[in-house]
Amino acid sequence: MHRMKWLLISLAALVFMSAGAEKLTFVLDVTENRSDEGQAIVAQLQAIGIDASLRVWQSTVLRDEMLAGNRSASTSDWGSAYFDPFDLAIPKLRTKDRGNYSFYSNPAVDEAFRIASTSIDDATRSEAYLTAQRQIFADAPLVFSYVLQNIEAASDNVRGWEPAADNSENFARASVIGSDTLVIGMRVDAIVTLDPAMYRDRDTEAVLRNIFDALTIPTAQGQVQPHLATAWRVVDPLTYEFDLRSGVTFSNGEVLDADDVVFTFERILTEGAIDGATSPRAGLLGPIDHVEKVDATTVRFVYKETFPQELVLQALTHFQIVPKDYLSEVGVAAFTAKPIGSGPFAYARGALDSQVVLEANPTHWNGAPELKSVVWQMMPEASTRIAALLAGEVHVIQAVPPDLVERIASVPGVGVHTALGTRSYQIELNNAAAPFNDTRVRQALNYAIDWDSILKNIYRGYADRLSTVFLPSGFGYAQDLAPYPYDPAKAKELLRQAGYETN
Amino acid sequence: MRLTKLLERVLSAIPVALGVAVLAFMFLRFLPGDPVEIMLGDTQVSQQQLDSLRSQLHLDKPLLAQLGIFLSGLIRGDLGVSIVKNAPVAKLIGDTLPATIELTIATVLVGILIAMPVGIISAVRAGSWLDRTALSGALVGISMPAFWFGLLMILLFAVELRVLPTSGRIAATMVVDKTTGFMLVDTLLAGNLKAFGGALKHLILPALTLGVVFAAVLARVVRTSMLEVLGKDYVTTARAKGLREWGVILKHALRNALIPALTVTGLQFGELLGGNMIVETVFAWPGLGRLVVSSIFARDYVVVQAAVMLYALTYVGANLVVDALYTLLNPRISL
């Protein structure tokens, strides 16, 4: 009888306890390209007593769901075109900004971001970014994850080329032993256009950057160098002045001067300037007011608000200068069908969804390229690109999936080449709703996932851990901030503090 | 009488196409995702810039107003301008369609060339080892994913043997002026036999990949209907008249057995003309399937709704041609 009573009491206690502390339960929503990773994560979370399950989505649909606040944990990725957190960390983590799928809001971080995107002093900007990173790290609004490397492959006969962090392909100094033509297998099924005002994707830009020149040019690692602009200075906090290289001509002989530069930017900044359509590129220039000509070889960029010089210089690498006279004379349609630029190569022929053929521009101001022609072959399937490289049909291929690297590495005569990536991958957590409105729970998830094992096994080591969503290749990166370590004990401890049962 | 019937059928395709277009228009708008958001990608963009782009593309207007713009354009023969590519949709489809038609014709030819003899012999020698081999072969063909089979073909013929190119329609070194868009025709028109040979070589692997799968389906249909017809009285009569066996099979039996095969071929034709996205991707074949699928992912409504309408017309057209061919094969059938 006595025993029975104790049994009943302990049973009641058990029922009471399990009613009081439940497991952390949520669905991890992943995009289709990350389902393997998602499975590994869910298994790791389950091992410490988190009741996580997996669901796979098409990325566009998932983004809409996230923005509507319908999801609690979802994978996402965001790329940077600036080598600066300006277009990565800021849109992702500033209160109510465009990429803030986690609904994170911290006034201190917002203030740091404001300083970093408006100050014209590099030290101040850098300091603001460091402050923001430490605060974001502590708040753990997301599960900080990794940056994938940009993996490309090439024949050993290719010289003077390396993959770039931003997926651009610069063939101005490239050559191929035994061939005067270089063929590159592109990762996309089509580029968008040949009009430098009407695209937003990197693949179109990769082709256009070989046909046109910009005022500045990035190195493969993202450092800005002079190009059509030879020097620049700050006139006043809202105005930057650029000296243009003299003696530059377009491939039709037209001289490139300040009029062409002003024309190029007016097309982009004026609504409806491209036969009634508006360029989708204006946003890349920041809070610009207008571009004006000072004299034939000097232009000024005038801003509405202060905008850091480094960001202006980075932005300018993305704007290809077009010939005003030729374009005005033939019209947009004819120009898009047969563009004329001042770049190392000139457009010869092709179709945007199959192959684009460029021929060397022998009169390029920086010297004629060694190659006679470059062929951009659209090959959307990775296995086909690799087959074409192995068959000797192409010399360079983009986007080798990590699990197919082995196939290339084992064949003599071809090699894998990598560059730093510029895209942060993470898991968004809905900070505005339970269970992830509790910092301890978000931190717990950051401790609970063994990223090193995932990066090694799924991405074959071609990925690097991130401490936040700031990239090591970007400005103001906190070198000393180590990523959350894999610490399941700590994760369980934090979950218990937050009132959840663990294993 | 027949001509009016034919005309009636052609005209009845118009409301079908329109209905499909409206349905496609509505369904696309129910898909989550905003084309402007997708197009602008990961960047700092102000709300004002987003709004101005949306209004330029009429995406800010109510659904019915957008439908009105689409339909009134349609009446004027204007399919609209692609949201992402800023090019007329008619041009985009016109650029990709010849590649798809070329591949479709080649595929159907490959399919018929394999399936007819295999199907007929299987039926005539039903139960023999030949028949059993053909049947199991057909089963493998139907079950095989085209994606995987295509890659195997590339690895064998392009990488190992190096007798055929991996992908594309023609080598970049060949300069072919575009007149019809059909590579085989354009190279012949230009009198460039070397380019013609090159284009033919590029066509072989994708056509084989799709053709083998189609042949597997077709061979089974031909076998079944041949078996049925061979048991009919008129075939026995023909044999009794002392006609030669192969004459009976090819002249008397096959003609009637062709009707189901024709149906399958017609449907296949309609389907292939939509473009096979997977095979087009594996072989980097710049056809309609790839255009449509990439437009769906980019939510480029304007391209997708026009393509869906074209699909509807293609199916109606293919069915019409099949029905017309029935009457030729069997005069008892009328339209």
DSSP string, A145-167: EEEE-EEEEEETTEES----TTS
CB proximity under 8 Å: A 239-298 to B = 271-272, 274, 277-278, 280, 282-284, 286
Assign A4 a pLDDT band (cuts: 50, 70, 90): low
Assign B1 a pLDDT band (cuts: 50, 70, 90): very low
Exposed (0-12), middle (13-18) or buried (19+): which is B12, by Cβ within 10 Å?
exposed
In this prediction, residues A312-338 reach a mean pLDDT of: 96
Query: Residue B96 and residue A353: Cβ atoms within 8 Å?
Result: yes
pLDDT at residue A428 tops 90: yes
Name which residue leads in pLDDT, A91 or B244.
Answer: A91
Please compute Rg for chain A using Cα positions.
Answer: 26
Q: Which of B32, B172, B294 sits opposite A189 (nearest CB)?
A: B294
CB A468 within 8 A of CB A144: yes
pLDDT digits (tens, 9 = 90+) for A406-421: 989 899 999 999 998 9
Alpha helices in A229-285 (DSSP H): 258-269
Query: Residue B172 and residue A383: Cβ atoms within 8 Å?
Result: no
Q: What is the pLDDT of residue A84?
A: 94
Q: Which of A98, A381, A391 sits opposite B162 (nearest CB)?
A: A391
In this prediction, residues A247-265 reach a mean pLDDT of: 97
Q: What is the pLDDT of residue B27?
A: 87
Q: What is the pLDDT of residue A228?
A: 98
Q: How far is A410 from chain B (nearest CA, A)?
A: 15
Q: Is A377 on the interface with B (CB under 8 A)?
A: yes
Q: What is the pLDDT of residue A221?
A: 86
pLDDT digits (tens, 9 = 90+) for A134-190: 999 999 999 999 999 999 999 999 999 999 988 899 999 999 999 999 999 999 999
Q: What is the pLDDT of residue B77?
A: 87
Chain A interface, best mutation among B28, B102, B147, B166, by max A CB count within 10 A? B166
pLDDT digits (tens, 9 = 90+) for A208-241: 999 999 999 999 888 999 999 999 999 999 999 9
ipTM of the prediction? 0.90
Provide φ and ψ at A366, rounded to 5°: -95, 15
pLDDT at residue A11 tops 80: no
CB proximity under 8 Å: A 441-500 to B = none
Q: Is A387 on the interface with B (CB under 8 A)?
A: yes
- % of residues, chain A, pLDDT over 70: 96
B-chain CB neighbours of A354 within 8 Å are 168-169, 284, 286
The residue with tokens 């050993």 is A156
In this prediction, residues A474-486 reach a mean pLDDT of: 96
What is the pTM assigned to this prediction?
0.92
pLDDT at residue A363 tops 80: yes
pLDDT at residue A470 tops 90: yes
Nearest CA in chain B to A281: B40
| CA–CA gap between residue A289 and residue A478 (Å, rounded) | 33
Query: Residue B172 and residue A282: Cβ atoms within 8 Å?
Result: no
Q: Is B235 on the interface with A (CB under 8 A)?
A: no
Nearest CA in chain B to A387: B159
Nearest to A210 by CA among A357, A410, A390, A404: A357
Q: Is B78 on the interface with A (CB under 8 A)?
A: no
B-chain CB neighbours of A277 within 8 Å are 56, 86
Any idea what DSSP says for residue A184?
Answer: E
In this prediction, residues B146-169 reach a mean pLDDT of: 95
Q: How far is A179 from chain B (nearest CA, A)?
A: 12
B-chain CB neighbours of A280 within 8 Å are 39-40, 53
pLDDT digits (tens, 9 = 90+) for B195-227: 999 999 999 999 999 999 999 999 999 999 999
Q: Is B202 on the interface with A (CB under 8 A)?
A: no
In this prediction, residues B236-252 reach a mean pLDDT of: 86
